[in-house]
Amino acid sequence: MLSVKEYQTVSNIQGPLMMVEMVDEAKYGHIVDIELGDGSIRHGQILQVENDKVLVQVFEGTSGIDVKNSKVRFLARPLEFGVSPDILGRVFSGLGVPKDDGPEIIPEKRLDINGQPINPYGRDYPNEFIQTGISTIDGLNPLVRGQKLPIFSGSGLPHDDLTAQLARQATVLGKGEAFAVVFAAMGITFEAAQFFIDDLHNTGAIERAVMFVNLANDPAIERIATPRFALTAAEYLAYDQGMHVLVILNDMTNYCEALREISAARKEVPGRRGYPGYLYTDLATIYERAGRIKGNKGSITMVPVLTMPEDDKTHPVPDLTGYITEGQIILSRSLARQGVSPPTDVLPSLSRLKDKGIGEGKTREDHASLYNQLYAAYARGKEMQELATIMGEAALSDEDRKYMEFANKFEDRYISQDYYENRSVFQTLDLGWELLSMFDNVDLKRIDLQLIEKYMTKYRTGKSKAKEAAD
């Protein structure tokens, strides 16, 4: 072990940053301990070194630190997390310190929380369908193992219920493999975090969960490290222990704001809305840690949650996230007002990896054509709904009205779903066929005729019989 050097040469303190002078042997990215005059310890990370001057970001904030009495120790290592199988079932702070009443973790090894990028050649393509029991995800935007699929939400929308349902119900068809949930809370309220913890308790899943909790009143700068701790734990569980890990990061908007705070304090040239120009790169180092590795059993599936300021999808945080993640599930305020729950805005939602995860042998042969048709019909129906609100229903042609009716039914029966209702993917698919049975073949251009025959017939016979009776 290297000898740890201690300095009392703090020169400036500004916002979350601290300048230490006359330091030798400081390395970029390494961590420091700061001992305050009263003996308490804070933690920091080196952001920049220039000759003997070192710029440190202080995770717990700088309030109470003084220039004269503070001692800074350079620990000559990057920020690390000590992992062992015992981390399962435990709750940690945003800086990876146990926060529950459990014993200290005796680490099997210590891992740099920044991880290392996965070599694209070493990746395995995610193609295993995860059944979430939620129709709008399973049927229209299927999630696969190793995918990163964020939930774009807004303040006051039920993303917590949706993520809890996801964590509760997600399984891979026909397999009972070891799984784990890693939950990172960044700047969310005690209530929101507790809701999630309670839910895990109630289902017994807490034994297989690791939590990193940085609440709204915890130091903001700590949030920069929180998702990295969570992902280090996830990588260990996935690639060392061969588990399938679901990582939930809630809420990424708070993370980005913390990053902006540091950037502003460093007086960097800001990009859009004051966020630093490297926000994309920084977010990528988090999101890209999801995935699968060739020849390794485990996988990391990631569901980041973020609240869009003013429900604006073009805000830098959702925007840059959408460019990195493999799709997005968007919640809509107008649907929520209509009482649709979960209010999934189906049209702009997307899962990019769906095509390889569905179809014969994975889900069912009709899956792809079916969701294409549902999308097309719902898009048209949605347009008609809007037209009807402007001009009145009477102005619509019979055909247009049929599409509107479809959209209404679709929102009512397909999108709406109880948070405790676990629909199998087959139930979801059949529901899709049932709803589409109101259309004639000529309107179902995106589905092969054989499939229509095979899956639609049972819903149509009822209809045509009723028609005959009416005639």
Partner 1 sequence: MTEKRVGRVVKVAGPVVVAEGMAGARMYDVVRVGQLNLIGEIVELRGDTASIQVYEETTGIGPGEPVLDTEASLSVELGPGLIESIYDGIQRPLDALVEREGEFMSRGSDVPGLNREKKWRFKPTVSEGTKVSPGDIIGEVDETTLMVHKIMVPPDISGTIKSISEGEFTVVDTVAVCVAEDGTEHELMMMQRWPVREPRPISRRLAPEKLLVSGQRVVDTFFPITKGGTACVPGPFGTGKTVVQHQLAKWVDADVVVYVGCGERGNEMTDVLTEFPELKDPRSGEPLMRRSVLIANTSNMPVAAREASVYTGITLAEYFRDMGYTVALMADSTSRWAEAMREISTRLEEMPAEEGYPAYLGARIAAFYERAGRVQCLGSPDREGGLSVIGAVSPPGGDLSDSVVQATLHVVKVFWSLKGELAYQRHFPAIDWLTSYSFYKQYLRGCFEDKDQGREMEKMTGAAMGLLEQESELVEIVRLVGAEALSPRDRLALETARSIREDYLHQNAFHEVDTYTSMEKQYEMLKTVLHFHHQGLEAIQAGAETADIFKLAVREDIARAKYVPQEEIDKIRRIRDTIEQQMKPLHSTAASK
Among 177, 268, 412, 421, binds partner 1 (CB under 8 A): 268
Write down the least CB distance from residue 289 to partner 1, Å. Answer: 7
Give whichever of 63 and 116 is closer to partner 1, judged by the CB atom.
116
| Stretch touching partner 1 by CB under 8 A, among 120-128, 131-139, 193-201, 303-311 | 120-128
Among 71, 356, 364, 401, binds partner 1 (CB under 8 A): 356
The count of residues interacting with partner 1 (CB under 8 A) is: 86
What is the spatial distance between Cα 405 and Cα 384, in angstroms, rounded to a whole number?
A: 9
Q: What value, to the nearest 5°, has the Cα angle with vertex 277 and ends 153 and 273? A: 50
Among 272, 413, 454, 458, binds partner 1 (CB under 8 A): 272
The answer to the question of residue 244 lying near partner 1 (CB under 8 A) is no
Write down the least CB distance from residue 312 to partner 1, Å. Answer: 8
288: three-class secondary structure by DSSP = coil
What is the spatial distance between Cα 369 and Cα 426, in angstroms, rounded to a whole number?
A: 15
| Class of residue 409 by CB neighbours under 10 A (exposed 0-12, middle 13-18, buried 19+) | middle
Write down the least CB distance from residue 73 to partner 1, Å. Answer: 16
Write down the least CB distance from residue 32 to partner 1, Å. Answer: 13
| Stretch touching partner 1 by CB under 8 A, among 166-174, 212-220, 309-317, 453-461 | 309-317
CA torsion through residues 309, 312, 316, 317, sign: positive
Among 3, 103, 397, 470, binds partner 1 (CB under 8 A): 397
Give whichever of 161 and 319 is closer to partner 1, judged by the CB atom.
319
How does strand 244-250 pair with strand 299-307? Answer: parallel
The answer to the question of residue 114 lying near partner 1 (CB under 8 A) is yes
CA atoms within a 13 Å half-sphere pointing along the CA-CB vector of 123: 15
| Stretch touching partner 1 by CB under 8 A, among 206-214, 275-283, 299-307, 415-423 | 275-283
Write down the least CB distance from residue 406 to partner 1, Å. Answer: 14
* C-alpha dist (Å) from residue 126 to 34, 152, 198, 300, 302: 43, 22, 31, 10, 12
In which residue are the tokens 């996830």 written? 234
Task: Give residue 294's Cα distance to chain centre.
Answer: 23
* C-alpha dist (Å) from residue 123 to 56, 300, 460: 35, 12, 45
Q: Which of residues 158-217 bind partner 1 (CB under 8 A)?
A: none
The answer to the question of residue 50 lying near partner 1 (CB under 8 A) is yes
Q: With beta carbons less than 8 A apart as the criterion, state whether 397 and 405 touch.
A: no
In one-letter notation, the amino acid at residue 270 is P
CB atoms within 10 A of CB 398: 6
Q: Would you say how long the chain is, in residues? A: 471
What is the spatial distance between Cα 349 and Cα 408, in angstroms, rounded to a whole number?
A: 18
Phi first, then psi: give them for residue 135, nearest 5 degrees. -60, -45
CA torsion through residues 379, 385, 390, 392, sign: positive
Give whichever of 81 and 196 is closer to partner 1, judged by the CB atom.
81
What is the spatial distance between Cα 32 and Cα 16, in angstroms, rounded to a whole number?
A: 14
Give whichever of 20 and 353 is closer to partner 1, judged by the CB atom.
353
Q: Which of residues 427-446 bind partner 1 (CB under 8 A)?
A: 441-442, 445-446
Give whichever of 169 and 351 is closer to partner 1, judged by the CB atom.
351
Among 3, 314, 361, 389, binds partner 1 (CB under 8 A): 314
Write down the least CB distance from residue 139 to partner 1, Å. Answer: 13
Among 34, 49, 83, 245, binds partner 1 (CB under 8 A): 49
What is the spatial distance between Cα 405 and Cα 71, in angstroms, rounded to a whole number?
A: 70
Write down the least CB distance from residue 238 to partner 1, Å. Answer: 12
The answer to the question of residue 110 lying near partner 1 (CB under 8 A) is no
The answer to the question of residue 423 lying near partner 1 (CB under 8 A) is no
Among 280, 419, 439, 459, binds partner 1 (CB under 8 A): 280
Q: With beta carbons less than 8 A apart as the criterion, state whether 444 and 455 touch.
A: no
Write down the least CB distance from residue 122 to partner 1, Å. Answer: 3
Write down the least CB distance from residue 427 to partner 1, Å. Answer: 23
ω into 430 cis (within 30 of 0): no
Among 326, 366, 411, 430, binds partner 1 (CB under 8 A): 326
What is the spatial distance between Cα 424 and Cα 47, in angstroms, rounded to a whole number?
A: 49
Among 102, 277, 339, 462, binds partner 1 (CB under 8 A): 277
| Stretch touching partner 1 by CB under 8 A, among 10-18, 122-130, 157-165, 333-341 | 122-130
Q: Which of residues 365-384 bind partner 1 (CB under 8 A)?
A: 368, 372, 375-376, 379-380
Indicate the helix (H) or strand (E) that contains 250: strand 244-250
Q: Which of residues 334-353 bind partner 1 (CB under 8 A)?
A: 347-348, 350, 352-353
